[in-house]
Each structure stands twice: as C-alpha cells, then as structure tokens.
Amino acid sequence: MRKVTFHPVTQADLQEVLTLERASFPHPWSAEHIFNEIHSPHSFPLLARLEDGSCAGYICPMLVLDEGQILNVAVQPSFRGKGIGMMLLEAALELFREKGATVVYLEVRPTNATAISLYTRCGFITIGRRKAYYENGEDAILMKYELPMKKEEHHAV
Ligand SMILES: CC(C)(COP(=O)(O)OP(=O)(O)OC[C@H]1O[C@@H](n2cnc3c(N)ncnc32)[C@H](O)[C@@H]1OP(=O)(O)O)[C@@H](O)C(=O)NCCC(=O)NCCS
C-alpha cells in the first residue's frame, strides 16, 4: 500500500473534491456546498493524498460543542478496497478526539453495505433509522461512535 497523507481541504482543492463527489454520489454536493464546508467554523474536511500528489479521497467531519458528525466520506473509485476509507475515518476520529468530541453520529443508506461494514469495523453501532431521509425517499440508518473521555477529564470523587 502506498503512503497516504491527510491535509485540511482548502479552496485550492475544491475542484478535486467536486470531481470526487461526482464520481461517488448520485446527488453530489455542489461547488457552493463544498465551499461552505471549507469555510464553516464547525467543519474540518480532510483530503487524503498519495505520494504522487493525487487525491485518493476525502472526509467531512463536523463538530458542534462536543457532538461530532461525519457529513460525507468518499474514496476515488480506482482506490477503493485498499483501506483508505478506514484511514479517513480514523483520521476524522483522531481529529474529533483532539477537539474534545464525546460522541460522533453519521447517517448511511441501508443499501450501502460497503460503508456500513466500514463504519462497523471502525466501532460505530446502529442506534436507529431516520424515515425518508434521502432525496429518493430512502430511510437512513443512524450510527453512533462514543469517544472515551480524556484521562484528565475524569473527575476525582
Ligand atoms: C464507502 C467508501 C468510502 C469506502 O472506502 P474504501 O477506501 O473502499 O474503504 P476500505 O478499503 O477501508 O474498506 C472497504 C472494503 O475494502 C476491504 N479492504 C480494506 N483494505 C483492503 C485491502 N488492503 N485489500 C483488500 N480489501 C481491502 C474492506 O474489508 C472492505 O470490505 P468489506 O466492506 O467487504 O468489509 C467508498 O466505497 C466510497 O467512496 N463509496 C462511495 C461514496 C459513499 O458511499 N460514501 C459513504 C456515504 S455514507
């Protein structure tokens, strides 16, 4: 496996993220939506790059107070099945840990077996369903990951 590094998404990466979105989702985010996530104080999108500089995937974590949300994750079709999705999720969970999140949620289509299996391997558990969540009326499975409290946050009794 080639080396993968993670970088905060900047405006200069917008076109690559847009291409990745279009290759990955039936209803991809628009350039404006990606722009807003890049500039949102609550979102911390990360890009995975290979050694040759090519864009392998990206993830969009969002944090409000101590509650995290994975808004989006996508890997270039030609790089799927090599563990990059897992690395992106681990990078996002590390970022959530650093920023003091205690819980992370995400929604996924019940038909997206690859994504569900990936999230489960990462430690997410299914906690419910959101009815007719997607544009086509499909429900979403709601998944949750609890982050252990940092040692120094445990209160002495
Ligand atoms: C979901 C998605 C991000 C996963 O990315 P990925 O890089 O393929 O993920 P991983 O490689 O970490 O894991 C995917 C599969 O590859 C397998 N895999 C991981 N590393 C592997 C390796 N070195 N060799 C062979 N297979 C491997 C995993 O076991 C897993 O298979 P499984 O689902 O049968 O268990 C990617 O499929 C994608 O972009 N899909 C379209 C967008 C999408 O649906 N996003 C999620 C929205 S909720």
> Tokens 């120094």 belong to which residue?
152
- Nearest-atom index, ligand 1, CA of 109: 48
The answer to whether 146 is a known catalytic residue is no
Question: Is 152 tagged catalytic?
Answer: no
Q: What is the structure's pLDDT at 1?
A: 64
Question: Is 74 close to ligand 1, i.e. is its CB under 6 Å away?
Answer: yes
What is the pTM (predicted TM-score) of this model? Answer: 0.92
Instruction: Please tell me the predicted confidence (pLDDT) of residue 155.
Output: 58
Residues of the chain below pLDDT 50? none
Residue position matching structure tokens 């404006």: 32
Pocket test for ligand 1, best of 1, 46, 75 (most atoms within 8 A of CB): 75
Which protein residue's CA is at the shortest distance from atom 43 of ligand 1? 74
- Which listed residue (21, 37, 58, 119) is catalytic? 119
Residue 153 falls in which region: left (phi positive, over 0), alpha (psi -120 to 50) or beta? alpha
Q: How far apart are CA 82 and CA 6, in angstroms?
A: 16
Answer yes or no: is the C-beta of 117 below 6 A from any ligand 1 atom.
yes
Choose which residue among 6, 21, 80 to substitute to test ligand 1 binding: the one with the highest number of ligand atoms within 8 A of its C-beta.
80
* Side-by-side strand order, sheet with 4-8: 4-8, 46-50, 55-64, 67-75, 103-108, 140-146, 125-130
Show the domains of the chain with their CATH numbers: 4-153 (3.40.630.30)
Q: Quick one: pLDDT at residue 148?
A: 80
Report the pLDDT value the prediction gives residue 150, as an integer from 0 to 100: 66
